[in-house]
Amino acid sequence: MTEGERGAIGDLAIRLEQAVGARAILTEAGERERYLVEERGLFRGEAGIVIVPESAADLAKAVEICAAAGVGMVPQGGNTGLVGGSVTTEAEVLVSFRRMNRIRAVDPTNFTITVEAGAILADVQAAAAERGCFFPLSLGAEGSCTIGGNIASNAGGIGVLKYGNTRDLTLGLEVVLPDGRIWDGMRPLHKDNSGYSLKNLFVGSEGSLGFVTAAVMKLFPRREQIQTAYCALPSTKAALELLALARRRSGDEVTAFELMSEFSLSIVCAHAGGQRPLADPSPWYALIELSTSRPGEDLRPTFEGLLEEAFETGLVTDAVVAETIDQGQRLWRLREGIPEAQKRAGGSIKHDISVPVSAVPTFIAEASRAVEAYMPGIHVCAFGHVGDGNVHYNLTQPDGMDKAAFLAHWDAVNHIVHEIATGLNGSISAEHGVGLLKVEEIDRYRSAVEQSLMRSIKTALDPRAVMNPGKTVALGISSGAR
């Protein structure tokens, strides 16, 4: 930063302090650190100023000041994103939503909850449960991620198969726009066809069109019973047939269907305290959850019946249905332990692709053939929400290889995997979003028409490009456009 830039930041801090109050500006290095560090160490932020406003009105004043000065602003919820969406540069202002975290209302008759953007996801779930309702968004970071971050990134998680992603759960929004105006779209309506769907433009836009400050989210009747099973499968094709069978036989009560490769189970057992739930190893496993909100219904006979049919037709070679809630949670920990186990198993190159559900077996087969040809000994640690066609096609380094040497292949391996996914009409960002990590790569895969549509929208709503600059949509023309 030059002397002049430093002076400009100082002037801005004074004006922002007048707008939002001294308490809302963090100046101590110690206070600021939590906002700048990214857990996985892929990025390191450097915000010139960190503000923690207490209301949309205060934030709006701050945004107006920054916009007038042409200073970029970066929103941050729980700082748990996986694509660097809330990473700042030192010329930018970081806006944390930690102090705007109230649950404003729960309406069990309208099946809605009204929340501020900084509310922690687990707190939203708990507030819904207290009133006999169920908020289905659920993901690994739920103890610290915020609903505003979930909305900005259109978070997916484990319940998408039945309940949809965050977009499907969002009914109304309040947004501070790039010029400091506030859009009040907090309508708690299940149906509204009165013009363009502004709400859907902001959901998933990663703060690059405006900052979400509050939302009305959809709720569901409380779940009365949850049944979990862990199954050994001969192939990914069998997984798809088992999923279709489970949807049909359960009356579409499959709330999760998670695929795991043998390698992913083996490292959870080796490095993350997992215990094999079935005697013999199998190429693939599925963690299946059925649940019902019908009081007194027992899903166990349904589950056993469908597994029996699956067994007879060879879709499943072994299976265990959890006898207790505790046993069900242990099965879930096998799935949830994968990221931790991967960290301990050496270097990982990660992907968040989706393809049509019917193309999952082809994708996994082709990608595995290609990466194994590129690097013999590489381990396929694929897992994910196969019911949505979303595979976390992660790769772990060959045994004994140097970690840094392996990670040097990140871009090349990404390229191999992404070419195969997009060739199958897939996406290279199914649920984690674009952020900083994929902004160039995704732009390359967009058609020229799609690039220009994305840019038209960004420019129409944020003509000075001050909202989360450089994220989501590349404003330069990518040379790789096809």
| 49 versus 242: smaller Cβ distance to a copy of itself | 242
**Residue burial 277-308, b: 16+ Cβ < 10 Å; e: rest:** beeeebebbbbbbbbbeeeeeebeebbeebbe
Other CB atoms within a 10 A radius of the CB of residue 458 amount to 20
Q: What is the DSSP string of 136-153?
A: ----TTTTT-BHHHHHHH
| 329 versus 459: smaller Cβ distance to a copy of itself | 459
Please pick, from the candidates 193, 275, 324, 479, the single residue that binds a copy of itself as defined by CB under 8 A: 193
84 counts as binding a copy of itself under rule CB under 8 A: no
115 counts as binding a copy of itself under rule CB under 8 A: no
Please pick, from the candidates 200, 369, 373, 405, the single residue that binds a copy of itself as defined by CB under 8 A: 200
44 counts as binding a copy of itself under rule CB under 8 A: no
Please pick, from the candidates 78, 156, 274, 346, the single residue that binds a copy of itself as defined by CB under 8 A: 156
Please pick, from the candidates 144, 235, 293, 327, the single residue that binds a copy of itself as defined by CB under 8 A: 293
Please pick, from the candidates 192, 298, 411, 440, the single residue that binds a copy of itself as defined by CB under 8 A: 192
CA angle 205, 208, 212 (to 5 degrees): 70
Residues 347-376 that bind a copy of itself (CB under 8 A): 354-359
Contacts 24+ apart (CB under 8 A), 5-9: 5/91, 8/69, 9/48, 9/49, 9/91
- The answer to whether 274 touches 334, Cβ cutoff 8 Å, is yes
Residues 218-247 that bind a copy of itself (CB under 8 A): 220-222, 224, 240, 244, 247
Provide CB contacts within 8 A for 201, sequence distance 6+: 209, 457, 461
298 counts as binding a copy of itself under rule CB under 8 A: no
By CB atoms closer than 10 A (0-12, 13-18, 19+), residue 350 is buried
313 counts as binding a copy of itself under rule CB under 8 A: no
Distances (CA, A) of 445 to 140, 199, 242, 371: 29, 26, 32, 20
Residues 381-420 that bind a copy of itself (CB under 8 A): 385, 387-390
Name the minimum Å distance from CB 464 to a copy of itself.
Answer: 14
Q: Which stretch binds a copy of itself (CB under 8 A): 30-38, 151-159, 228-236, 400-408?
A: 151-159
The size of the interface with a copy of itself (CB under 8 A), counted in residues, is 96
Name the minimum Å distance from CB 199 to a copy of itself.
Answer: 9
Name the minimum Å distance from CB 358 to a copy of itself.
Answer: 4
Please pick, from the candidates 2, 109, 275, 479, the single residue that binds a copy of itself as defined by CB under 8 A: 109
Provide CB contacts within 8 A for 399, sequence distance 6+: 377
Name the minimum Å distance from CB 130 to a copy of itself.
Answer: 16
CA angle 188, 190, 191 (to 5 degrees): 115
473 counts as binding a copy of itself under rule CB under 8 A: yes
Element at 467 (helix H, strand E): none
Provide the strand spans (E) within 163-246.
170-176, 182-185, 211-218, 220-221, 225-233
Other CB atoms within a 10 A radius of the CB of residue 390 amount to 25
| 17 versus 241: smaller Cβ distance to a copy of itself | 241
* Among 316, 269, 284, CA closest to 383: 284
Mask for 424-463, x = binds a copy of itself (CB under 8 A): -xxxxxxxxxx---x---x--xxx-xx--xx-xxxxxx--
Provide CB contacts within 8 A for 164, sequence distance 6+: none
Q: Which residue has the tokens 């299940």?
A: 190
| 66 versus 430: smaller Cβ distance to a copy of itself | 430
8 counts as binding a copy of itself under rule CB under 8 A: no
Please pick, from the candidates 2, 3, 4, 196, the single residue that binds a copy of itself as defined by CB under 8 A: 196
Tokens (6 digits) for 351: 């992907």
| 213 versus 472: smaller Cβ distance to a copy of itself | 472
140 counts as binding a copy of itself under rule CB under 8 A: no
Residues 245-274 that bind a copy of itself (CB under 8 A): 247-253
